[in-house]
Amino acid sequence: MSVQKSSGDAADALAAGDRVEAAGRRPRHARQRRFPAVGDAGQARLAAARVLIVGLGATGGAVADLLARAGIGLTLVDRDYVEITNLQRQTLFAMADLDQPKAEAARRRLAAIDPELPLEVRIADLHAGNAVALGRGHDLIVDGTDNFAARFVINDAALSLGIPWVYCGAVGASGAAMAFGAQGRPCLRCLHPDPPEPGSHDTCETAGVLQPAVAMVAGLAAMEALRILLGEALPPAALQYVDAWARAYPRLAVAARADCPSCALGLLPALQPEGEGDALATVLCGRDAVQVRPPSAALDLAALAERLEPACEVELANGFIVRFRADGLVTTVFADGRAIIQGLDDGGRARGHYARWIGL
């Protein structure tokens, strides 16, 4: 498994993790090391590991907090920015983080907890074209996304890289988590042969979400991540379900499918590229908004704000995002060229709006 490190690397990581204790204080992870499955050797493995967390909302942010406190280096990937409705359940963020990219706000919070923790940030939208590159060099991927399209991309990217990943999600008072091993069988597509149809399942917008359910699911996911990184054998594949309100915790066994196009046939359908030159428009469920992601772009946000100001109302320009109001729509633009356009649910209209105000 890719989490294995040389004894020299492990010793170096252990020493690095204890440098902050030189003043005679107890080591940061002393209580964790006392757990028999961790110990000094296990803590060295955790310090040497690198985990990619995709999505830093409710579950992803909670898992990031748990793994960071365990001493695990993280790469934080998120496409969105902090809104006030996030604060009820997304525990990495506070009022001071409003309108900041979630990945950057999360980095600041985790760095304040452990200043020596290796942290990298990618303010980006994970998709078929960048998922393998984002995952490369990591020992594990954790899903903190809120949609099955992204989860299928993570599934196929993990299979392509030969690394394990952990799925988790919560809505209402329930949620689920499952670990997929590096061997890749079964995989998410064995559990869900096809992505659910849009509108066929509840979302946080339609059913709400209670933070205790998020915390329970995130705890399960983080524990699975620790088991994997410590080299523990995974139990038989099963989806762990949590209904916190009903106090029900069933497990669903998952069997590998002989005809699975991802893990059995190796076709990895979620990684097939989109049509070249097309801007991808994604309707964001429950938000009355569309994300437009051009195939390749890097924007000078200061120049964009200056160019927009004479023609429309620029509401915010903070170095990370530019937000402007035009044609009755509110558009938030990121440095990688993506834009979230609020006030519509039509991809074609969103691409036209993008082309008119930002350019394709």
Task: Give tens-digit pLDDT for 36-73.
Answer: 999 999 999 999 999 999 999 999 999 999 999 999 99
Handedness of CA 223, 166, 81, 171 (dihedral sign): negative
Per-residue model confidence (pLDDT) at position 205: 62
pLDDT in tens, 188-222: 999 999 876 554 566 676 578 999 999 999 999 99
- In order of 45, 54, 66, 137, the CA distances from 76 in angstroms are 20, 7, 14, 14
| 166: helix, strand or coil | strand
Determine what percent of the chain falls in helix, strand and coil, rounding each to the nearest 5. 35, 20, 45
Peptide bond just before 186 cis, omega within 30 deg: yes
Q: Does domain 49-269 have CATH number 3.20.20.80?
A: no
The arithmetic mean of pLDDT across residues 341-355, rounded, is 87
Q: Which residues are catalytic?
A: 204
Burial of 352 (0-12, 13-18, 19+ CB in 10 A): middle
Please state, in angstroms and rounded to a whole number, the distance separating the CA atoms of residues 322 and 170. 30
Q: State pTM to two decimals.
A: 0.82
Q: Is the pLDDT of residue 22 over 50?
A: no
What is the CATH architecture assignment of 280-357? 2-Layer Sandwich (3.30)
Per-residue model confidence (pLDDT) at position 207: 77
**More confident position, 236 or 26:** 236
Q: What is the DSSP letter of 272?
A: S
- Label residue 277 left, alpha or beta by phi (over 0 means left) and psi (-120 to 50 means alpha): left
Question: Please, what is the average pLDDT of the chain?
Answer: 88
Q: Is the pLDDT of residue 344 over 50?
A: yes
Structure tokens that stand for 108 in this block: 């600041």
Per-residue model confidence (pLDDT) at position 5: 44
Q: What are phi and psi of 149, to 5 degrees?
A: -60, -45
Per-residue model confidence (pLDDT) at position 233: 85
The arithmetic mean of pLDDT across residues 283-292, rounded, is 84
- The domain ranges of the chain are 49-269, 280-357
**More confident position, 201 or 157:** 157
Q: Is the pLDDT of residue 360 over 70?
A: no
